Structure 1
Amino acid sequence: MTRSLGDRWLEAAYRGAGWLGLLRPLEGLYRAALRRRAAAYASGRRAVWHVPVPVIVVGNITLGGTGKSPLVTWLARYLAARGWRPGILSRGYGGRSRHYPLLLEPATPVTESGDEPRMLADQTGRPVVVDPERPRGARRLIEAGCDILISDDGLQHLALGRDLALIVVDGRRGFGNGRCLPAGPLREPLSRLAAVDAVVVNGEASFSVPAGSHRMSLAPVGWRPLACGPRRPLRPPPFVGSVHAVAGIGRPARFFETLEELGLEVLPHPFADHHRYRAADLAFGDDRPVVMTAKDAVKCRGLVPGEAWVLEVEAQPDPGFIAWLEDRLATL
């Protein structure tokens, strides 16, 4: 598939292409706007709502996928297993509802919620609210009985106060050329790392990690039929031969690499992040099985004409992060 201009720019930003230096004057304007915005919230010129229950923000400072959503799922399950009643708050990128806040129900269409909120609700069974205005969405989760909130991709949403802030970093790509938009892939300067509670590196790091960082990995755990049915064991796969691999996520290559590590012969089909699939996108003209991510699956039910499977993965934080989290939760 032909890569979009945005995909090519992001690849250049991560590898440090020299021509991006031409955009540094625009980067300066972007950084100045960030400083003014942060100062407005810090001074009280813009209101920050401090929620009457704990709030954990999970975000990143880079464009592209980092593994943030699997960590949100892990956190929701972990907190629920320890007696908390967690709720998840999302912007709902890619979805559009006629009313907000939108509390997801089993029948809420992904076109209204966006793909990540639908996936998080399905994976966790916890209340998920979509709202462009995070404080309003947080109030709706509290009304739903939640006593701790997880703000997905909420690092830059400063109108909502937070008790813990986590940044997830892709261990393979790191921070790219270290420049902010549009001269690099950073949403915020690297100095932001010092102002959060924890940095979690997903996978083996190819860069010098900040002191005190924690590690996590994404582990494939099984196969699920796209249409319906129980999870099948990871090995052996429930299909034979080569597969069409579909990924519309922040870094499709990570998904293709995972499939190859499982011993599969992969025909890769990368799509843009949050791609809205049509049946024509998934009609490959043969009877090979189609495999995809859980994020893609919520948008592809009923679109694949033949055999289709979802590879389910789970975040596995290191023991040090879990111990750190336990200590911090005890103080909330």
Structure 2
Amino acid sequence: MAREPAFWHRPRSWQSRLLSPLSMLYGSVAARRMQQPGIDAGLPVICVGNFHVGGAGKTPTVLALTDLLRGIGETPVVLSRGYGGRLPGPVLVDPAAHTAADVGDEPLMMAARVPVIVSRARAEGVGLVKAQGATVILMDDGFQNPSINKDLALIVIDGARGLGNEQVFPAGPLRAPLPPQLARTDALLVIGSGEAGARVASTVSAAGKPVFAATLRPDPQAVEALQGGPLLAFAGIGDPSRFFRTLRAAGLDVRRERAFADHHPYSTDEIAELAEQAKREGLTLVTTEKDLARLRGSKAARADLAIAAFPVTLQFADPHALCALVAQRLNVRNV
């Protein structure tokens, strides 16, 4: 996936106006597709999605919901399309046998903590999810995909970025016009703070939907290990700047930044260049867990190269309120 164009985050740009006819066509098709009927999975389905393309924190949200669901006695299994992987599935992700090139970086990373089924056609993966003893299906993305009916659609946005210019792709980042997406939204989760996120929260709240807040918290051991020296931070995620901000907010000395596109497949030359720069300037290489998962098993990975991961976990501001909503949807489904 290419990096987002800057004009997506500028209001009333000439690029957006030029692309608006294409956006109208794309948005019309996307809105009609969302209204198509889906299958009943036979289990409660919680979908963690976005209104827009790119990342906003879906993966840490899925992992946090995994812990929340286990805390109320449920057995969640994640169902993912496996973006970036070559295997069409359905397949149970095995971190010992698969690479990111097989199943995608996010499923590979999550599989260390929760069973993950990758299926390019999501509905075809339901049977394998059930075979793992699931009591709840956690869908990683797929909000706009109508193939499976959802019992709870939780939309995730980044508080600092919000929805950009709020235009539909390709004039902006929205995957479909906002009204049909909002109609199918059950709750919003805003990660971090910012005026852009507050505007979206206000819109969702005005529509009568609950809004929750969360923050990304770095792993204390990772922070301690990286406090000793200056860093060269690199990331190929939906919003690399958020990663760099998180490092600095933890008090770490980030001297250099390198941003790549989301799911970027690192080449041998790119990693060698990063390693050479780090060595030349006396810096420690650090990246996200997702990037490190993508590097493992790739040709770019080198046994002699030390790259530190910087794990983060999502913390809900009011986990009890979110847990109550989840439990209510599960109970309604099981009645």
TM-score norm. by structure 2 comes to 0.86
Q: CA deviation at 1:331?
A: 2.9
Q: Provide the aligned length of Structure 1 versus Structure 2.
A: 308
Amino acid at match of 1:330: N
Which residue matches 2:241? 253
Q: 1:220 aligns with which of 209, 218, 227?
A: 218
* Contact 2:26–2:176 (CA under 8 A) maintained in structure 1: no
Which residue of structure 1 aligns with residue 31 of structure 2? 35
1:165 and 2:163 are equivalent in the alignment: no
Q: Which stretches in structure 1 are left out of the alignment for 5+ residues?
A: 43-47, 223-232
Contact 2:192 2:213 in 1 (8 A): yes
The answer as to whether partners of 1:57 and 1:165 remain within 8 angstroms in 2 is yes
Structure 2 residue aligned with 1:92: 82
**Aligned-residue offset at 1:321:** 2.5
**Match for residue 313 of structure 1?**
312
Larger helix proportion, structure 1 or 2?
Answer: 2
Contact 1:129–1:141 at 8 Å: present in 2 too?
yes
| 1:1-332 to 2 correspondences below 5 Å | 6-7=2-3, 9=5, 11-16=6-11, 17-39=13-35, 41-42=36-37, 48-97=38-87, 100-105=89-94, 106-122=96-112, 124=113, 126-191=114-179, 192-207=181-196, 208=199, 209=201, 210-211=204-205, 212-222=210-220, 233-238=221-226, 240-266=228-254, 267-283=256-272, 284=274, 285=276, 286=279, 287-301=282-296, 302-303=301-302, 305-319=304-318, 320-332=321-333
Q: What RMSD, in angstroms, separates the aligned Cα atoms of the two structures?
A: 1.9
8 A contact 2:30–2:175 mirrored in 1: no
Consecutive unaligned residues of structure 2, counting only runs of 5 or more, are none
TM-score, normalization: structure 1? 0.87
Most deviating of 285-294 and 248-257:
285-294
Structure 1 position 121, deviation (Å) = 0.6
Residues 168 and 158 of structure 1: CA distance in aligned 2, closer, same or farther (over 3 Å): same
- Equivalent position SS for 1:299: helix
Structure 2: distance between partners of 1:153 and 1:181: 17
Which region of structure 1 is more displaced relative to structure 2, 254-263 or 284-293? 284-293
1:226 corresponding residue in structure 2: none
Letter in 2 for 1:186: L
SS at match of 1:72: helix
Answer yes or no: is the 8 Å Cα contact 1:282–1:304 preserved in 2: no
* Structure 1 Cα separation of the partners of residues 237 and 291 of structure 2: 8
Percent of pairs with identical residues: 36
